[in-house]
Amino acid sequence: MEAKHDIIQATEQEYAKLRAAVHGLGEAQMREVWLGTWAVREIIAHIAGWHREMLPALERVARGEPPYAQGTYDDFDRWNARFVEARKDVATDDLLREVELSHRELLRAVGRLSDETLAADQAARSLVDGVGAGHYREHVAQILEWRGRAAR
């Protein structure tokens, strides 16, 4: 249970940092575009979108199947745009609730995987990190850098 415990713990820790990074931002700040064409709300929509998209992949992994067909997610930009476009009219508070819910669903799906499946050298480990801790870490760094610039 060590591998599973470690990745769940890392995912929770990095998610707490994501929540802290957006804590206290008002609606105008959440909508201020600063990352290409994205604001914080688009980052949140995109994270939740990847969570939702990877839940069936993790279910397939739990059954011993490949997570998805090779090449399915080769065009990350297209997928990112799809996730953001689908949620563009959703209220910011609802987006924050969605990412919280999808994070919890991600953790439940990870909890159903075996420790062996989540070993450091297994594809499932990188998949979970890619939509969990590693993904959160990437966007937390961006948000904190932006907040630092905005505070000057």
Residues 23 and 17: their CA atoms lie apart, in Å, by: 10
Residues 105 and 120: their CA atoms lie apart, in Å, by: 22
**Given this model, what pLDDT does residue 1 score?**
63
Q: What are the beta bridge partners of residue 38?
A: 35
**Given this model, what pLDDT does residue 50 score?**
97
Residues 105 and 124: their CA atoms lie apart, in Å, by: 16
- Enumerate the domain spans of the chain: 2-151
**Given this model, what pLDDT does residue 150 score?**
82
3-state DSSP assignment of residue 90: coil
Residues 8 and 72: their CA atoms lie apart, in Å, by: 26
Residues 134 and 48: their CA atoms lie apart, in Å, by: 14
Would you state the CATH architecture of domain 2-151? Up-down Bundle (1.20)
**Overall average pLDDT of the 135-142 stretch:** 98
In whole angstroms, what separates CA 88 from the centre of its chain?
Answer: 17
What's the pTM? 0.94
Q: 90 near 98, Cβ under 8 Å?
A: yes
Q: Is the pLDDT of residue 94 over 90?
A: yes
- Work out the percent of the chain whose per-residue pLDDT is above 70: 99
Phi, psi of 119 (to 5 degrees): -60, 155
Q: Which amino acid is it at 97? A: R
Quote the DSSP letter at residue 113: S
Q: Is the pLDDT of residue 122 over 90?
A: no
Secondary element (H or E) of residue 59: helix 40-62
Q: Copy the structure tokens of residue 6.
A: 């470690």
